Structure 1
Amino acid sequence: MKPIQVKLKFNAATKDHGDRKPIRDGLSSIVKVGEYLWLACDEGISLERLKKTDDGYHEHTLFKLSDYITLSEEEISEIDIEGIDFENHYLWITGSHGLKRKKPSEDDSVKKQIKHIAKVEAEPNRYLLARIPLVKDDKTGELVLCKSCPHPEDPDKKLTAARLKGDANSNELMDALKKDKHLKNFLKIPGKDNGFDIEGLALDGSRIFLGLRGPVLRGWAIILEIETKEVDKQTIELKSIGPKDKKYKKHFLYLAGMGIREITPAGKDLLVLAGPTMELDGTIAVYRWKNALAATKEVKKSLVYEEQVERVFDIPHGTGKDAGKDKAEGITLISEHELLVVFDSPAEKRKSGKTDVVADIYLLAGKNKKPSEK
């Protein structure tokens, strides 16, 4: 399936982004809200907003997350944002919640490089699960983030930014998983080593689905389902929704050994972007878990076999001189039958200037005319 391409035009990264790699080189998650795209770069501490124009998505605006929620180490620790979605006037975001193994540098001695490979780090901001009000500005008409604001449909109520209860080393979800028979042994393994690694967030009313890139257990990928409630105006906590009053449900999907790289709602279904769980080039595919949102309401856990998830299409990844490039990381529906895909480590042919990059639009079944984006 050949995609239609669309240009995303960013400004240069600033210290408010995290002063790390260019935004276009680390796109990890995306959601369309109205005429805007909201995107995250996995090495940043900000969210990026682009507006639909005649020739793509431009007018980049950066929103520094520490203006809305409390971060553990604002200036030095990336959040590793891997999932964003919008519902009921809130934009929800999640960090990877995963450990990080240090990369060796060719400039160092062999002894030092080997020592680096043994070092595993926990970055506090990665344990972030939060919601931020997203509403229309009365003066400009733009969709903007707010720390606190009146509810657009009920002025007597307030919308407030809040994050899941926790501390610099963990949060309530990670604490709950420490006794889980499937996941507890993977919490101390770095994400790129098939350890615990959240890479996808999708909303259905009060329910939050978290897709796991790892671990993959004998070919089975995992989606966690949670619900939250307010503790105070800045803190949320998990409800008991699972078996034996656990604070989560588990859904196992057979995706031919691939982990989950992103999830997004599509009517009653969930679209799942699947790919390698470890640091390698490999098959990347979009699956449709049919009737997922209804089916999961009726059960405490589920096992979804290969024949119950439709493999919709594969997405090419970098090979040859582009090995390690063009890794599909984020998906969002821009219309009922048009799926926009953004890439981590885009190949040079996707880039233009110092900041711009091309994303792909795939046409889903059920529509015969070409995508509306040009």
Structure 2
Amino acid sequence: METVTLVLTAPNGRAVHGTPVNFTGELFSGKPKPQTSVSGVNGAGDFLAIVSDEMKKPTTVQLLKRDGEGFVAAGSVTLPAGDDEVDLEAVGVDRASGTVYVTGSHCATRKVEDGVLGEVKGKKSREQFFRFKLNADGTVGAVEGPKTLTSALDAHPVLGPFRAVASKENGIDIEGLAIKDGRLHFGFRGPVLRGAWVPVLSCTWDNPIGSAQVRYIRLGGRGIRDLTTVDDGFLILAGPVGDGDSTYRIYFWDGTDHLPLGENGTVPELLGEFSNLGAAKPEGLAVLKAEGRTYDVLLLCDGLPKGGPTRWSITRP
């Protein structure tokens, strides 16, 4: 497995390196593929919850507990998700209640084999999201769900038609989830719409269809790879929609809908761009500590052992 040293360059040109974080113990029941396919992370108190889009039979959420400057495996939570692929992509945490939310991608896919493009196929198993209570001592309450966004997506005049499009071809692909003010905010890797507009769908747990609202932001043609809350908004990890070579960036978003302001209006605030990625694909972003406009964040990447965890200090100007 390739070793990489990521670099984050701020808009002022200052380049910084992340500090490696040690994850010890057996993750994802020791299965090798999920350990190099980490897809989401978030934290509550002394604990982290991480997911892999390759973990199935059963589908579990891995818990880790703070251990000095690192984290140690502290058990897992099995989801009532069936044996098929859930494609877990994101973790959101309501820190006020200690409730952890996880979501599947809700995407369709297309295989390319032996020079032949296959059909676009969806899976009900990917169209699920769940929640459970994570107590301060690490004990876990009963898992609730599954629930789904399919009806809310189908009913939306913009997002509905993208349900039949393969995810890496700019179809529906949810990869971010953040909880703020009692609402779940689902960030879309795709579609990225004309004008580079990216949707964020928010809803309540109790009424995903009736409460659904969609806001739009622009990330320079990138989609959302993860989404996490801070006091006055959200941090966004952004990257390419498909298999292109677009860069990965971190933005601050104030949570408002930017579409009414038009293409010459407000955009999320760029905080930094990653380089020297090698095999790493940044997929998970969690805020470990925030002091004013400075954020101590944890980054996990697809393609690296245990997500190649690194810690970064990011300051908004």
CA distance 1:251–1:317, change in 2 (3 Å): farther
Report deviation, 1:86: 1.6
1:176 corresponds to which of 152, 158, 169: 152
Distance 2:261 2:128 in 1: 28
Does the 8 A contact of 2:40 with 2:89 survive in 1? yes
1:279 matched to 2:279: no
| Residue 316 of structure 1: how far off its partner (Å) | 2.2
Q: Which has the higher contact order (CA 8 A, sep 6+)?
A: 2
From the CA coordinates, give the structure whose radius of gyration is larger.
Answer: 1
User: Gaps spanning 5+ residues in structure 1: where?
Assistant: 105-112, 137-141, 148-159, 165-170, 230-236, 242-247, 368-374
1:29 counterpart SS class: strand
The aligned residue for residue 262 of structure 1 is 226
Aligned partner of 2:107 among 93, 98, 111 = 98
SS of residue matched to 1:315? strand
Determine the C-alpha separation between the residues in 2 that align with 1:128 and 1:63.
Answer: 16
Matches within 5 A, 1:185-334: 185-218=161-194, 219-229=196-206, 237-238=207-208, 240-241=210-211, 248-290=212-254, 292=255, 295=256, 307-316=266-275, 318=277, 322=278, 325-334=279-288
Residue 359 (structure 1) shift: 1.2
- Hey, what does 1:6 align to over in structure 2? 21
Alignment equivalent of 1:58, drawn from 72, 92, 113: 72
- Alignment partners' CA distance in 1, 2:310 and 2:260: 32
Is 1:126 aligned with 2:126? yes
* 1:345 corresponds to: 303
- The equivalent position to 1:37 in structure 2, one of 48, 54, 67, is 48
Task: Tell me how large the CA RMSD over aligned residues is.
Answer: 2.4
* Conserved 8 A contact 1:132-1:162: no
Return the offset for 1:24.
2.5
Look up the match of 2:13: none
Contact 2:225–2:236 under 8 Å retained in 1: yes
Output the CA distance in 2 between the equivalents of 1:81 and 1:50. Answer: 17
How far does residue 268 in structure 1 lie from its aligned partner after superposition? 1.3
Amino acid at match of 2:144: A
Instruction: State the shift of 1:340 in Å.
Output: 0.8
Structure 1's consecutive aligned runs of 4 or more residues displaced over 4 angstroms after TM superposition are 301-306
**C-alpha distance in 1 between matches for 2:98 and 2:214:** 27
Whether 1:114 and 2:125 are equivalent positions in the alignment is no
CA apart distance, 1:22? 2.9
Shift of the alpha carbon at 1:192? 1.1
Gaps of 5+ in 2: 1-15
CA drift of 1:181 comes to 2.5
